[in-house]
Amino acid sequence: MPVVLHPPFDPATIQTNAKLALALAPSLAIFPCDDTKQPVHGTPWKSARPGQIDRVQRWWAAHPDAMPAVHLGAVGLIVVDADGADGADGVAAFERIAEPHGGVPECPMVDTPSSGRHFYFKQRPGEALGNSRGSLPPKSECPIDVRGDGGYVIAPDATRDDGVYLYPDGDPLDVLHAPELPDWLHAILTGKREEEPSPAPVAPSPPPKAPSSSLTAVRTLDMGHPRLRAWVEAAFDTEIRALEQCGTGGRNNQLNTSAFAVFQLVAAGWVAEDVAHSALVQAAEACGLVKDDGRRSVLRTIASARKGGMAQPRQVPEEFQRDEEIAAAAVELNRELAVSADGTIHDATTGEVIEPESMAATWEVPDLSLLREGRRTPPTFHPEWLGPHLARWAEAQSRATCAPIDYVSVSLLALVGGILGNRRRPLAGAGWEEPPTLFAALVGDPSSGKSPASSAVMGLVNDEEASLDADYRHRLGEYEEAKLAADAIMAAHKSAAREAMRANPELATAIPAALPEGFREPMKPFLKRIVVRDSTIERLATLSAENPAGLILHRDELAGLFASFGRYSGGGGSDRQFFLEAYGGRSFTVDRVKSGDPIRVPHLSIGIIGALQPDKAAELLKGADDGFVARFLWCWPEPIAGFRIARETFDRGPAERVVNRCCRLHMQSNPPPMPDSPVLLPLEEGALAVLERFAQTIKVRESKASPLMKSALGKARGHALRLSCVLTHLWWGADPQASWDDPSNIGETAVATACELMESYFLPMAERVFGDASIPVAETHAAILVRHIREKRLSTFNASKARYTVGAPLRETSSMDAACAELVEAGILQPMSAPKKRGRPSKDFFVNPAIFAQPANG
C-alpha cells in the first residue's frame, strides 16, 4: 500500500541523490546522509534493509539533497576505504599492501570526491567482520579504514557538493556481485596474519620513527623532551575528542571548555594557534554544533574562550620541572627516535641507544575512558522506530506531559506488548516462541515526568475497558435472576425430600440421588480487565484466569512491588517465581489461602510498567542475580530542562487506533477441555537471518561482560523477538489505510528494527542503570589501578609491589596482571622492557603522563 507523504515524493522533480536512492532501495539497504557523511539526524539507519521503498520515499521527501548510504551489514558487504583527503594516499598504501599477494583483487571500486577509493568485497559466510583495521599499519602510515558489519559507506554514484562517488565501470548494484574477501586480506583484518611473502627488495632506509599521537598534523612548538611532547599532544587530543563526541545537551559548553584548554597550550608556546583554531572548528562540525547553531556562533564562542586561555598559559607539569637533569636532557633528546624489535629506543640517525632512565616511553594517544567515573550518558530514543504515525504522536505526547519522549515510547511498547499478551506470539524457526509481554522500568528522579508520561499512555485503554464491559450490569442482572431461580429449585427439591421422608421414613433410601434440572448456580460474570494497578499474587492469578488474553500491571512506584518479594526484604520467593512465570507466559497454579480450590492459569501473562527512583534501582541491583532484573527493559533518559505547559492540541488517533485494534484480536479457539491458546506468527526467512546475526553478536559480547550485564545480554535475543511482534502490530494498528486483517507473520524490517532498538537503546540503557555493575571485572580493576596511580602521581611502578599498596581486589597476582594488561592496551602503561620469549614478563611499567593532564572527573 503506498505511503502518504508530507511533503509529497514526486519522482518527476526529485534530484539526483533521491533518484539514486529510489533506484537502489529494492536491492540495497539505503538511508540518507548529510554532506558531512553523517546519517541525517534522527535516522535509525541500522534498521535499514533492502526493499524498504516506502521508507526511502519518506526519507528523501524530507531530505531530497541527502546522499544515499549503504548499510553494509544488512547486505553482507565489507569495504576497504582508502583515504585521499588532506594529501593522504590510502590508495597507494593499499596497493603496496596487496602487491606481495598479486595486487589488488578485481572488485567494484568507487572513487570518492576527496581522491580516495572504496574497494568492495563480500563478507565470508558465517563471519561478519566489523569496522576494524586489524593488523594494518598505523593510520599515519596507512590512511585506510575498514567498514563492515555495523558500518556504512556513501553509495556509488552519490553526489556531494565537491564531486561524485564515481563508479565508472557500470551499474552501482554491481557491488552486490563483489568477490569474497580474499584470504590474505581476511588475515590482516582479523589480526591473524601468518608468514607472508616478502615484498620486493627496496633501498635501505632509516629505522621507522616510533608512532606518535593521532595528531600528526598538529605543529607543536619548542618541546625538546619527548615525554613533554607526548603530554601536550595527549592534552590537546583529549579536548578535541571530547568536543567531537559531545552529545546535543552540552556541546556549546564543551566547546568553551575545550577551546579555553587548547588556547592555554597555545599561550604556553606548545601548539600553533592556526592549528588549534582549525581543530576546534572541525570538531564543532563533527559533533553537529556548526550545523545546528551556525558557524558564526561557534566562532564567537571560540574567540571568547581564546581570551581566557591565552591569559592563563598552561604550566609545565611538576614531573617535568622537578628533575633538572631531565630538563637539561630535553635539548639533547629532541631528535628523531625509533624503537627496535627488542623494545630499546635509539636515535634513528646515529643508532645510539637511549637508556630508559634518561627518558620515558614514547606514547601514542591513550584511551582515557577508564579515568571516567559515574554512569554513561543515556542513548537517544528515535521516535521513528515507532513508525511515522506514532512518531508524531509520541513527540506531541512528550510535549504535552513535559516528559522525555523515552518515557512515552517505552510505556507504549510495554502497553501494546501486554495487550497482545496471549493473543499473539512470535515464532522463530521450528519451536522458539516468546510472548510479546514486556517488563518496563522507567527510572528517574521525582518530578522527572515518569508518572505523567506513563499515565497518559495507560489512559489509552480506559475507553477499551469500558467498551469491553458495556453490558456488565445487564449480565450481572441476568446472573442474579438465574441464581434466584436455581436457589428456588434447590429449596423446593430439599423441601419435597424432607416431606417425603417425614411421611414415610422407609422411603429415605429410595429417594433418587439425581438433582432436579436447573438447580446449579450460574457462573457469576466478572468485570473484564486490561490494566490492574495493585493486587496480591492470589488476586492477580484470579484476574489472569478471568482474563486469559493477558494483563498489564501498572505501578507508579515499582519499589513497593520489589519489596513485596524479597529484593529489599529478603523473602517472598513464591512471589518472585510468580512474576518469572508471568514473563514467560507459562501455565501456573496458585493455592488459595482461604479456600482449598487452587487457581490454575493455562497461560500466565502479565506485563509490567512502573517507575523507579535511581537510588532504589541501585538497591535492587545489589542482590544475587537470578535473572529477574535482566527481564526488564530499562529507561533512564535525561530530564526535560525547565517546564512548559503545552498549548497545542494533537491527534491521539494513531495511538488509540493501535490499542483498539489490538484489543479486538482474539486467541486461538480450541475444542473443550483444552483452553484457548495464542496465535503464532512465524518469522519470514530474511527475518530469521537478521535475528541469527544479532544473536551471534550478542554471544560475543556475553563472553566479555560482567555477570549482571551478561544476564541482560542473555535475554537480548528474546527481547528482540518480543519487540518484533510488538512493532509489527504498532505499525499495522497505527496506519489508517492498513487492512483490518491483522498481520499473519513478522517481516525482516520489524526484526531489524527490534534488534536495533536493543543494540542502540535498551542495552546501552541497561549499562547506564547498572553503572559499575555493567563493567567487566578486568576493566573495573584497571580503573582502580589507574586511579591509584593518579593519586600517587607515579611515573613508573612495579606491579608486584603495587599489589600490596593498592590492596583488595588487586592483591591477587592474576587480578593485577589482568589490570595491567588492560592499561597497556589502553596506552596508559608500557612495560619497561620488551616481553621475553622465556621467563616471566616484566613487572615494571612506565606511566603515560597524559593521565595526569586529564581532569579528575574524566
Cell of 709: 550485564
Task: Tell me the mean pLDDT in the region 841-858.
Answer: 70
- What pLDDT score was predicted for residue 32? 94
- What pLDDT score was predicted for residue 686? 92
pLDDT tens per residue, range 192-249: 644 333 333 333 333 333 333 333 333 344 444 555 666 787 788 889 988 988 877 7
Q: Is 776-853 a domain of CATH 1.10.10.980? A: yes
- What pLDDT score was predicted for residue 288? 87
**Residue 44 confidence (pLDDT) above 60:** yes
Sign of CA dihedral 686, 687, 692, 697: positive
Most confident of the ranges 208-212, 453-457, 706-710: 453-457
Task: Tell me the mean pLDDT in the region 332-347.
Answer: 47
Q: The pTM is what?
A: 0.59
Fold type of domain 402-469+527-638+652-773: Rossmann fold (3.40.50)
- What pLDDT score was predicted for residue 832? 78
- What pLDDT score was predicted for residue 606? 94
Residue-by-residue DSSP string for 335-363: S-EEE-TTS-EEETTT-PEEPGGGS----
d(CA 112, CA 92): 15
- What pLDDT score was predicted for residue 207? 34
d(CA 599, CA 295): 68
d(CA 149, CA 130): 4
What's the longest Cα–Cα distance across the chain?
Answer: 133
- What pLDDT score was predicted for residue 344? 52
Terminal-to-terminal C-alpha distance of the chain? 51
Cell of 138: 598505523
pLDDT tens per residue, range 810-849: 888 888 998 998 898 888 898 876 554 455 566 888 888 8
Most confident of the ranges 92-96, 192-196, 363-367, 756-760: 756-760
The structural domains of the chain, with segments of one domain joined by +, span: 16-189, 226-365, 402-469+527-638+652-773, 470-526, 776-853
DSSP 838: S
Task: Tell me the mean pLDDT in the region 666-672.
Answer: 89
- What pLDDT score was predicted for residue 573? 52
- What pLDDT score was predicted for residue 358? 43
Query: What percent of the chain lies above the pLDDT cut of 90?
Result: 31
**pLDDT band, very low/low/confident/very high, at 489 (cuts 50, 70, 90):** confident
- What pLDDT score was predicted for residue 855? 55
Are 97 and 142 contacting, i.e. CB atoms less than 8 angstroms apart? Answer: yes
- What pLDDT score was predicted for residue 211? 32
pLDDT tens per residue, range 394-428: 999 999 999 999 999 999 999 999 999 999 999 99
What mean pLDDT value characterizes the chain? Answer: 80
> Which regions of 559-647 does DSSP assign to beta strands (E)?
588-590, 599-601, 606-612, 632-635
Q: How many CB atoms lie within 10 A of CB 561?
A: 17
- What pLDDT score was predicted for residue 375? 59
**pLDDT band, very low/low/confident/very high, at 626 (cuts 50, 70, 90):** low
Measure Cα distances from 246 to 39, 156, 196, 241, 300 in Å. 16, 30, 42, 8, 19
- What pLDDT score was predicted for residue 694? 93
Lowest mean pLDDT of 4-18, 298-312, 752-766, name the range: 4-18
Nearest to 153 by CA among 120, 106, 105: 120
Q: Are β-strands 606-612 and 679-682 bridged in parallel, bridged antiparallel, or unpaired?
A: unpaired
**Residue 9 confidence (pLDDT) above 80:** no
**pLDDT band, very low/low/confident/very high, at 351 (cuts 50, 70, 90):** low
d(CA 852, CA 858): 11
pLDDT tens per residue, range 252-294: 888 988 999 999 888 887 888 878 888 898 888 888 888 888 8
**Residue 657 confidence (pLDDT) above 90:** yes
**Residue 487 confidence (pLDDT) above 70:** yes
d(CA 61, CA 6): 7
Sheet holding 67-71, edge to edge: 30-33, 67-71, 152-154
- What pLDDT score was predicted for residue 857? 45
Provide the residue count of the chain. 858
- What pLDDT score was predicted for residue 331? 35
Measure Cα distances from 503 to 108, 491, 493, 506, 796 in Å. 107, 19, 16, 9, 112
- What pLDDT score was predicted for residue 514? 61
**pLDDT band, very low/low/confident/very high, at 653 (cuts 50, 70, 90):** very high
115 φ/ψ sector (left φ>0, alpha ψ -120 to 50, else beta)? left
Task: Tell me the mean pLDDT in the region 56-60.
Answer: 87
- What pLDDT score was predicted for residue 834? 56
**Residue 748 confidence (pLDDT) above 90:** yes
d(CA 149, CA 190): 13
Residue of 168 and 76 predicted with greater confidence: 76
Peptide bond preceding 673: is omega within 30 degrees of 0, i.e. cis? Answer: yes
DSSP 31: E
Residue of 687 and 371 predicted with greater confidence: 687
**Residue 109 confidence (pLDDT) above 70:** yes
